């Protein structure tokens, strides 16, 4: 996971070097401001809309179709798993040819990106389909064994509207695969971020504090303690980061001197902000105080990251500034309102589905393109599940 915000002034994700200084023209103030501002805006969009969709997702699902819930045990293990993955990628890039590794990763993220983007645009596309649109239902069923030993591996149900969304997303996928253009990269990155905020749910605030606290240490160590994260970020040709060129005004769409923001800096604080939105709704006060407070805290934290990175001209671990802001601001508001106990006793899954046991396994492949994308990322495991009656209302 890339969780560092990198300075475009130093040449796309690495600290300044004599080579970069001699081959790249000086950054213009306008170009730097445009790059930083665009990254900030792109980070806010999936958090805001992903949080809103997470509420509808949790309310509209049955017990067998709930989004994956992150428990405190998952949160405690995540920084260790992320560290092993990051180190493994670093060693792979050192040992094997970078060209072949990125070819495999490109194909993998090509499929995942199409599915994620299809799920992202599906609610917007449904508004454009006419009422008499011939929407036919389809099912892709793959089983193993026979008779009583028959086991369902894939039960994928979709309709004509899903096929249209997949077709449009495939155009972006082919564009990304052939050109690796930064706009196509950002479309996939935004889709991954929004899906992550929508479909990954923290079960309570304590779990969110454990997750953010662990990744706070993880981010600092791998950015300041080693060059591993920055090396992987600049070698990894996959839409795991948002990028924006600082030389856009000079070179147009063919610009190549990028600032970058890892998707981890969006999704991790984003799922915590989405949790606070669901907490706001559970209070039934018709206010979103904690959501807007944490959202403003994210803007403050990311803005501080950009400012310090620009001053010191070095990639920064964004979670170093985001975690204290996103946790501290809402807690201070809770202290002022006398709602600390309510905040930390809130159980997200219990409020929305009070009689539903918390999930402890990953869902199988079933339902819309979104569920397939989620299952492919998290390995196939778990019981059979069926698609809701209205396949396009996600």
CA distance 169 to 377: 18
- Catalytic member of 74, 219, 247, 374: 219
Question: Is 219 annotated in the active site?
Answer: yes
Alpha-carbon span 357 to 343, nearest angstrom: 21
- Which of helix, strand or coil describes residue 366? strand
First to last CA, the chain: 27
Give the distance between the most distant pair of CA atoms in the chain.
70
Q: Name the 3-class secondary structure at 260.
A: strand
CA 279 to chain CA centroid, Å, is 21
With b for 16 or more beta-carbon neighbours within 10 A and e for fewer, the 244-271 pattern comes to bbbbbeeeeeebebbbbbbbbbbbbbbb
H or E stretch at 68: strand 68-70
Task: Output the CA torsion 117→123→128→133 (10° steps).
Answer: 100
Which of 162, 265, 280, 374 is flagged as catalytic? 265
Given a contact cutoff of 8 angstroms between Cβ atoms, the answer to whether 257 and 36 are in contact is: no
- Report, as residue numbers or ranges, the catalytic residues: 219, 265
């Amino acid at each position: 996971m890339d969780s560092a915000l990198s300075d475009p002034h130093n040449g796309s994700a690495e600290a300044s070097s004599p080579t970069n200084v001699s081959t790249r023209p000086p950054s213009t103030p306008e170009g730097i401001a445009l790059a930083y501002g665009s990254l900030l805006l792109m980070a806010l969009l999936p958090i805001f809309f992903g949080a809103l969709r997470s509420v509808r997702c949790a309310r509209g699902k049955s017990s067998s179709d709930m989004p994956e819930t992150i428990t405190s045990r998952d949160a405690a293990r995540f920084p260790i798993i992320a560290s092993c993955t990051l180190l493994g990628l670093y060693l792979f890039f050192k040992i094997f040819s970078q060209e072949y590794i990125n070819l495999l990763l490109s194909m993998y993220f090509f499929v995942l990106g199409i599915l994620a983007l299809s799920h992202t645009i599906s609610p917007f596309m449904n508004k454009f389909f006419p009422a008499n649109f011939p929407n036919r239902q389809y099912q892709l069923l793959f089983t193993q064994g026979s008779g009583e030993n028959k086991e369902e591996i894939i039960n994928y149900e979709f309709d004509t509207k899903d096929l249209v969304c997949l077709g449009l997303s495939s155009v972006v996928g082919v564009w990304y695969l052939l050109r690796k253009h930064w706009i196509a990269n950002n479309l996939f990155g935004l889709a991954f971020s929004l899906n992550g905020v929508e479909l990954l749910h923290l079960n309570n605030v304590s779990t969110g504090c454990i997750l953010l606290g662990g990744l706070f240490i993880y981010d600092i160590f791998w950015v300041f303690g080693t060059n591993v994260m920055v090396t992987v970020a600049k070698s990894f040709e996959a839409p795991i980061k948002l990028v924006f060129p600082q030389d856009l005004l000079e070179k147009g769409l063919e610009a190549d001197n990028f600032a970058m923001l890892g998707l981890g800096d969006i999704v991790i604080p984003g799922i915590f902000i989405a949790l606070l939105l669901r907490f706001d709704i559970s209070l039934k006060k018709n206010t979103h105080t904690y959501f807007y407070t944490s959202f403003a805290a994210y803007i403050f934290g990311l803005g501080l990251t950009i400012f310090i990175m620009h001053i010191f001209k070095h990639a920064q671990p964004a979670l170093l500034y985001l975690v204290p802001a996103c946790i501290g601001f809402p807690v201070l508001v809770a202290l002022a309102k006398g709602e600390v106990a309510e905040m930390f006793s809130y159980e997200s899954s219990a409020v929305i589905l009070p009689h539903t046991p918390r999930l402890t396994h990953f869902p199988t492949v079933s339902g819309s393109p979104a569920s397939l994308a989620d299952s492919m990322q998290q390995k196939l495991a778990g019981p059979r599940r069926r698609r809701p009656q209205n396949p396009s209302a996600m």
